[in-house]
Amino acid sequence: MQYQFTMSARMLGSIAQAALLVGLAAVAAPAQAEEAATARGGSQDGEIVVTATRAGAVSVEKVPLAMSVINIENVTRAGQGNLSDLGKFDPSLSITESAPGFNKFNMRGLATGGYRTSDTSDRSLVAVYLDDTPISLQGQTPDLKVYDLERVEVLRGPQGTLYGAGSMAGTVRFVTAKPKADAFFGSAEAGAAITEHGAGSYNGRLMINLPLVKDVLAVRANGYIGRDGGYIDNVGAYAGVNRNANTTKQARVALRWTPSTAFTLDAAFTYEHSSARGLNIGMSGLSDYTTFTNGPEGTRDNFRLYQISGDYDLGGVHLIVSGAHTDREIGYVNSTEATIGYFFQSYGAPVTGNGTYPLYNAPTSFDPAVSKLIPYEQYTINQRVRDSMVEARLASDNNGPVRWTLGMFWEKQARHLVQDIPVAGFDTLSYQNAFYGPYSQTSDGLYNSQTVDSAFQPNDIFSGLQDTNERQIAVFGDATWHLTHRLDLSAGLRWFDFHQTYYLFEGGTYGVVNNVPLTQNAYLKSSGVNPRFNVSWTTGRDSIVYAEAAKGFRYGNANQPVPIGDSGIAQTCKNNLGAYGYSSAPATFGPDKLWSYTLGQKAKLAGGKVTLNTDAFFIDWRDVQTRLLLDCSYFFTDNKGTIHSKGIEVEATAKLTHKLTIGGYVSFTDARASGNIPTVGAFDGNQVPYSPRWKTSATLFYDTPLAGGQALHAQLSYRYQSAQFTTFNPQATSYSDGVLTATGASSTYARIPQQHDVSASLAWDFGSTEVGIYGNNLVDGVRIVDVQRATYYKVYQPGDRVAWARPRTIGVRLRQSF
């Protein structure tokens, strides 16, 4: 399918005017009021200043990029400080979260499916930065609480020239507040909240800015501790209420040294530890917010980040050198015993009831009494990530006819993943001995997972490890030529060289062929050049139009092996592969790439009282990294197919009176397969999964001074997000002789409902003291945020696994400044 995408400046202006009228009428979404800009990184005249171009501070309204700036003061007052909340404040960004710290970022319709915890080859399409350091990991970006930040910048579209391979769809930047050496100040905040269907929550925050040497040396420290009360009840063998509580501890210490006006040195250490006792998962066949497992679940994250950077003014040119090291440990435990129920059921032998195989007769429909007999499957993944990087760049001042940035980047990452699925009693309680014994590998002839199938330990259904080592270097440059006082021409280029080694081992009955473990050694490399072009025209004192063409890219990776044999799971895999034209799964897959074209405008109207930013985009994504899920439960990734995404994004604010401001956005994204993509069962024109077509929101801000230097701040927001789908196609497909054919209803396709989010907050500012109350998801219009269909094991599970958003929550907060 070919898409024609052309738009004149006149058409863009018409869309902008229409969007302004519609947006201010009520369909636009919350933008951030600019009153707090000065305190949070803005200039004295109220302009919001950003550093997205990495060439110095610039007013956001003068940056010819599609981007949003999230005002942290409004986020804090609304009680929405979790990472997943950020998607509410941008017209294109959507974040799916199934557990604390387990999240997936999507932007502008660039997605092909859900996230799998064991897939180290799935690279992020959206880069997340803490200042100048990338911290994103696909599906597991750390949930750093939105606190003590100047702002959050969301850059839409590929940012590969300046931000590298991970920013193919866009970049999210957390810009921290820096120490100030001219004054001592700080703040302390405490909050508490109640959640319908759940337990109470609390949090405490502290920030101190301490000058050590006046005007020269200062330290800024902040800490956070909080508990998010659970709201998922368990009615399985591991019964209990509010099982998904989460505890978080975070700290950050930053040092700034300015021995002269020409040199600034920043150093920082960031620490985060979170521990969740459960997942945000329920079962569709049970009551809302209810799950059924026979064992505990949860997540764990230990994140440590060390940063140092120096900025030296050489006289018209700044030399900026930064380095960072990340040390992170991630844990995940899932209780998915329904998937192994068939190991313990009777296939004709009588059930004795004395704790020997078989444990039960196979049910014809879900029977909780039977499912509680399945031994706890402790599906465990532990990861260790170590990442070191150095960047050096020269950036000119914006005083001459050309502003430019030239830099080099080096990164080395080691990732060690251990996947283990111990199942108590598996060796003796499953059908292993009855079906395949006696075993020559053991002295007594009885099955032992460790001895027979090389598992890490006995009673271990699967054991695996993946070691990935990566190294990349890049050289990048970006320049803007001020051709006239109205016309700017920009171009950027990034050359990269990437190398990776990969080792995999799999043992246990799920990881062997004829009792022989699966192993994989792979090496891959890639290099190339990625350009960006931009032209902008200043149409008035406070308005610009711009056009941009940018290439995005993402590195390839290694695949997990797929067993091939003439019996059991290996035979199923072999037949499946053959149907798709493969004799074996490819050991590696290559980079995918895209070209993104954007036409936009930014304007301040009515004497600065109205701000309107509009952009339209078209993306041509080729050699897409798509994951083929085989019927034998294995999967691999290959470069197949093309996806086209096009859309419009509009943001607007209007100061209706000196007390009342309305802000908003509306976006439409149409992302579809261009031609058939057999690996994901997509027919030409199928909409991509996990991509809402519409996002809209409207927010009213009311700020008024009161007697005695006091003030009142109120917010009321409504946000809408249209429905999403978990796969491309509601039909199951088969592929033979190069023809993709629908074969009936898909067992994995599910609809994620639309969202209607209503929130409100009220804060009384008494000068140094602020007291607030807030309510989120007030009408429970945000409920299910993800769905995983039950397939071959559905007889042992009460419906599909669904990820539930936090229901209606009411909270209070108290902040004291000093």
Q: Per-residue pLDDT tens for 717-759?
A: 999 999 999 999 999 998 888 889 999 999 999 999 999 999 9
pLDDT at 36: 36
- Any idea which residue has 């405008």 for tokens? 601
Q: Span 581-592, mean pLDDT?
A: 89
Calculated CA dihedral for residues 363, 366, 368, 371, nearest 10 degrees: 60
pTM: 0.90
Instruction: Over range 269-298, report the average pLDDT.
Output: 96
pLDDT confidence bin for 23, thresholds 50/70/90: very low
> Are the CB atoms for 530 and 551 separated by under 8 Å?
yes
The confidence band for 160, taking pLDDT boundaries of 50, 70 and 90, is confident
DSSP-derived pairing of the beta strands 170-176 and 126-130: parallel
Q: Which domains does the chain have, with CATH numbers?
A: 9-817 (2.40.170.20)
- The Cβ of residue 323 has, within 10 Å, a number of other Cβ atoms equal to 18
With a cut of 60, say whether residue 32 has pLDDT above it.
Answer: no
The token pair at 158 is: 């590929």
pLDDT of residue 143: 83
| Residue 424: pLDDT band with limits 50, 70, 90 | very high
Arithmetic mean of pLDDT, 531-542:
94
Per residue in 608-664, pLDDT (tens digit) is: 999 999 999 999 999 999 988 887 878 899 999 999 999 999 999 999 999 999 999
Specify the pLDDT at position 25: 35
Instruction: Give dist(CA 509, CA 452) in Å, integer.
Output: 9
Query: What CA–CA distance (Å, rounded) separates 701 from 717?
Result: 9
Element (H, E) at 463: strand 460-482
Strand 233-234 and strand 290-291: the pairing is: parallel
Is it the case that residue 455 has pLDDT exceeding 70?
yes
Distances (CA, A) of 598 to 321, 439, 749: 31, 64, 32
- For residue 142, give every residue at least 6 positions away whose Cβ sits within 8 Å of its Cβ, in sequence order, or none: 83, 101, 135, 272, 301, 303, 328
What pLDDT is stored for residue 145 in this prediction?
78
What's the rounded Cα separation, in Å, for the pair 683 and 734? 12
CB 250 within 8 A of CB 769: no
pLDDT(290) > 90: yes
φ/ψ of 368, rounded to 5, equals -60, -35
The β-bridge relationship of strands 512-513 and 516-540 is antiparallel
Q: Is the pLDDT of residue 426 over 80?
A: yes
User: What's the average model confidence in pLDDT over 521-528?
Assistant: 92
**Rounded mean pLDDT of 693-701?**
96
Higher pLDDT, 575 or 210: 210
3-state secondary structure of 117: coil
> Is a pLDDT exceeding 90 seen at residue 486?
yes
Burial class (CB in 10 A: 0-12, 13-18, 19+), 609: middle
How far is the C-alpha of 814 from the C-alpha of 818, rounded, in Å?
13
**pLDDT over threshold 80, residue 679:** yes
Confidence band, pLDDT 50/70/90 cuts, at residue 82: confident
Helix (H, G, I), strand (E, B) or coil at 707: helix
State residue 15's pLDDT score: 34
**For residue 24, is pLDDT > 70?**
no
Is the model's pLDDT at 31 over the cut of 60? Answer: no
- Which residue, chain included where needed, has tokens 């039950």? 790
Average pLDDT of 547-558?
92
The alpha carbon dihedral of 783, 788, 793, 794 has a sign of positive
pLDDT at 809 over 70: yes
Q: For residue 47, what pLDDT is reported?
A: 67
**Residue 60: pLDDT band with limits 50, 70, 90:** confident
Residue 85 above 90 pLDDT?
Answer: no
Instruction: Read off the tokens for 712.
Output: 């009142």
pLDDT at position 449 is 97
Is the confidence at residue 35, as pLDDT, over 70? Answer: no
% of residues, the chain, pLDDT over 70: 93
Q: What is the mean pLDDT of residues 156-166?
A: 85
Mean pLDDT to the nearest integer, 694-715? 94
So what's the pLDDT on residue 55? 65
**pLDDT band per the 50, 70, 90 thresholds, residue 712:** very high
340: left (phi over 0), alpha (psi -120 to 50) or beta: alpha
* DSSP letter for each residue of 193-211: EEETTS--EEEEEEEEEEE
Please state whether 474 falls in left (phi above 0), alpha (psi between -120 and 50) or beta. beta
The pLDDT, as a whole number, for residue 476 is 95
Q: How far is CA 664 from CA 212, 647, 720, in A?
A: 43, 17, 12
Q: Which helix (H) or strand (E) holds 599?
A: strand 592-605
| Spatial CB neighbours of 583, under 8 Å, sequence gap ≥ 6 | 577
At a CB cut-off of 8 Å and minimum separation 6, what does 437 contact? Answer: 445, 446, 447
Mean pLDDT of 41-55: 58
- The distance in angstroms from the start CA to the end CA of the chain is 61
pLDDT of residue 146: 65
3-state helix, strand, coil in the chain (%, to 5): 10, 50, 35
Nearest by Cα to 390 from 413, 412, 410: 410
Of 812, 754, 816, the residue nearest 782 (C-alpha):
754
Question: Which sign does the torsion angle of CA 103, 107, 111, 113 carry?
Answer: positive
* Residue spans of beta strands (DSSP E) within 624-709: 625-629, 635-639, 642-655, 660-673, 694-705
pLDDT in tens, 301-343: 999 999 999 999 999 999 999 999 999 999 999 999 999 999 9
**Cross-sheet strand order for the sheet of 126-130:** 67-70, 149-156, 170-176, 126-130, 133-134
Residues 6+ apart with CB under 8 A from 386: 325, 326, 327, 328, 413, 414, 415
pLDDT value at position 367? 97
Angstrom CA distances, 67 to 32, 138, 229, 784, 800, stand at 13, 22, 34, 28, 37
Q: Residue 34: its pLDDT value, please?
A: 36
pLDDT at 199 over 70: yes
Can you count the helices (H) and strands (E) in the chain? Answer: 8, 45
In this predicted structure, what is the pLDDT of residue 79? 86
